[in-house]
Chains A and B, each alone.
Chain A
Amino acid sequence: MNAPERMLLSGNEAVALAARGLGIALGTGYPGTPSTEILEDFSARGGRAQWSPNEKVAMEVALGAAFGGARAIVTMKHVGLNVAADPLFTAAYTGVSGALVVVSADDPGMASSQNEQDNRRYAVAAGLPMLEPSDSQEAYDFLGWAVRISEQWHLPVILRMTTRVCHSKTIVEARPLAATAPPAPHFERDIAQRVMIPAYARPAHRRLREKLAQIATWGETAPLIRRIDGDRKLGLIASGISYEHAMEAAPGASFLKLGLTYPLPIENIRRFAAGVERCVVIEEGDPYLVEALRAADIPVEGKPEMYRFGELNVERVRRILARDVSPEPAPPRGKPPQLCVGCPHRIVFETLGKLGCIVAGDIGCYTLGVLPPFEAMDSCVCMGASIGVGLGLRHVLPEAEARKVVSVIGDSTFVHSGITGLVEMIYNPPPTGHVVLILDNGTTAMTGLQEHPGTGRTLDHRPTGRVVFENLAHALGISEVHVLENLKDAAALEELMMRLMPSGKLALVIVRRPCLLTAKRDADLAKASGT
């Protein structure tokens, strides 16, 4: 037998490669740093991948594929799992016929996110097995294990990655994965299993807990746990990227590396902890492992609270082991990012700033409108929140202030979670009316120029159906719908805004001009396809 090919891959690429090897029939998701490249690379390798309008829909499409007996994967960043949590929790009850792997890519340190929530909590809350790879090799291997666990227990499995695992490149041996050949999709009717009315959901919850108990027993001796017997004076328990930092910070110590972090192999951990003099848990983010182990009456040392914030690294692990709580040196302050020179969003924020607007903002490149020289954004919470927050402000502010409130949202974000906001606007209009601006640059720019339903092109840039925002607004009954194509003249926007903001009407203004970066990308695509 030939030696497996060795490659230098990012964790995301390793997941995509494994997905191809495993015969994953469908990959779905919504772009979000640090998860985006998984589906793009899966598609580039010949896999069937598609962007959904948002993570909830992506989860449901993947769940349907898994109901049909196929192997499916759904990818998203950590906050995306909040959006997809509704189907996730009940999918734990229904289970799956094929395999469903949910990739949650967390962003400790918030390199490109609005919070640093620790999605390990979701595995506990939903009751789903969770695997945590430490490097690209494990990202590759663990997708195989995730499929195997999903098929054996008919449960969705969470593959929880973090920024440094997703984006670091490490060596991968593309060895055969621990899974059987992919099944042929077919439908088997099983009403009590998949229709979650209370009568069927009650036994489903009991089934879920039985499965988790079985997986916990299996996990006690599964190869997903690696024990390194070193110096008995110091034993470290770690998972994910924290394991790599800890191996470097404490060479020679004893280690228990956990690949399966829900359900936890409690008895295995108990034996390890009992066999070392000092047992320290090295984990990034929340004290998830520490709390679980202490609840199981395993005495372990955690990290001082100051290390809960931000990423860990080798130096911080050394400090944790030294119980050093002295202030850390400030990281070097580099040059902050900014809206590109010539970016079509610039005119909009210059105008909103000049008009003294109260701007309910949203998530995307245009969030940079909050920074100097613009400083023209007053809130940014989550995908789509601009519209609801703007409406709420309009409802309660004194009339003169209310008339200054505008909601600003990007095209991809609008499709993701803005449409229901428009419905709310029609249904519960503020007395002063409202103005929503869609900054339509024809791409999901922030995450690297992905397509979405408003571009009319698929993940791999082929033509498909297109959602036309102005048609949608007309259909909803919004009285003032304005499209500013290729806007280069700030005066036109200023004049329109001055008219609409105090008008008492409901208005949607679409400022449409392509992102500068897509022009080059599209030229490259045209060249590549020979057109």
Chain B
Amino acid sequence: MPLNAEDSETAGLLPVVPFLKIPDEGSPYLEGSRCTQCDTTFLGERSVCAKCGSREGLEPLALANHGELYVYSIVYRSFPGIEVPYVSAIVDLEGGGTVKGNLINIDPDPEKIKMGMPVDVIYEKAPRKDAEGNEYLTYYFQPKS
């Protein structure tokens, strides 16, 4: 079952990407950076602002766990071993930051998926392990509950 951030079981899991943060205490979150010079928000850690070129004043922040579906595609052909179809989604998080991920818990049907619809970010154990058998925590989007 997908879980809300505050309910996630994270013990022993590694983050699927560096910008997914798993604090020792508290809920997982997606980390961003904000430029204090031009107020642009980025996904992930950065030391230089891609917009204004500033080399100082980029501050880490926790991005919101809800946002809006910007655009999507329904992927029917992917690389071998990857289960299809799935919905590849670009989501604008409230307060800044754009993230790509799978949109789940919705029919992969253009009639059902509405650009602009509100979505939540949820965290769950990934269905893949690495070569050493390590397990990972990943994030998904789902329609706002």
Determine if chain A interacts with chain B. Answer: no
Residues of A whose CB lies within 8 Å of any CB of B are none
